[in-house]
Amino acid sequence: MRILVADDHDLVRETIAAYLDASDIEEVVTVASLEDAVQAAEETGSFDLVLLDYSMPGMNGLDGLSEMRRANSERPVAILSGTASRSVAEAALKAGAQGFIPKTLAARSLLTAARFMAAGEVYAPLEFMRGKDPETSVLTRREMDVLRGICEGKANKEIARDLDLQEVTVKLHVKTLSRKLVARNRTHAAMIARDRGLV
Q: The pTM is what?
A: 0.66
Let me know whether 191 and 167 are in one domain: yes
Q: What is the CA radius of gyration of the chain?
A: 18
Same domain, 100 and 173: no
Is there a domain that residue 63 lies in?
yes
Q: Say yes or no: 81 and 169 in one domain.
A: no
Tell whether 89 and 165 lie within a shared domain. Answer: no
Residues 6+ apart with CB under 8 A from 84: 54, 55, 92, 100, 195
Rounded mean pLDDT, 34-56: 94
Sheet with 77-81: list strands edge to edge. 27-31, 2-6, 49-53, 77-81, 99-102
Q: What CATH number corresponds to the domain at position 152?
A: 1.10.10.10
In this structure, the answer to whether residues 118 and 150 fall within a common structural domain is no
Shared domain check, 67 and 32:
yes
Q: In degrees rounded to 5, what are phi and psi of residue 187?
A: -60, -45
Do 113 and 22 belong together in one domain? yes
pLDDT tens profile 16-36:
998 888 887 899 999 999 999
* Boundaries of domain holding 118: 2-130
**180 Cβ partners below 8 Å, 6+ apart?**
136, 137, 138, 139, 143
Tell me if 98 is assigned to some domain: yes
Residue 114: name the closest of 179, 23, 9 by CA.
23
Tell me, yes or no, whether 20 and 86 share the same domain: yes
For the residues of 162-179, what is the DSSP string, one character each?
A: HHT--HHHHHHHHHHHHH
Are residues 147 and 123 part of one domain? no
Best-predicted range by mean pLDDT among 41-55, 81-95, 127-141? 41-55
Cβ contact 4:39 at 8 Å: no
Whether 136 is in a domain gets the answer no
Q: How confident is the model at residue 194 (pLDDT cuts 50, 70, 90)?
A: confident
Terminal CA-CA length for the chain? 37
- Rounded CA-CA distance 8/13 in Å is 7
Q: Is residue 100 domain-shared with residue 145, that is, in the same domain?
A: no
* 79 plus 110 within the same structural domain: yes
| 159 and 80 in a common domain | no
Q: CA torsion 131→10→169→135, rounded to 10°?
A: -20
- The structural domain count of the chain equals 2
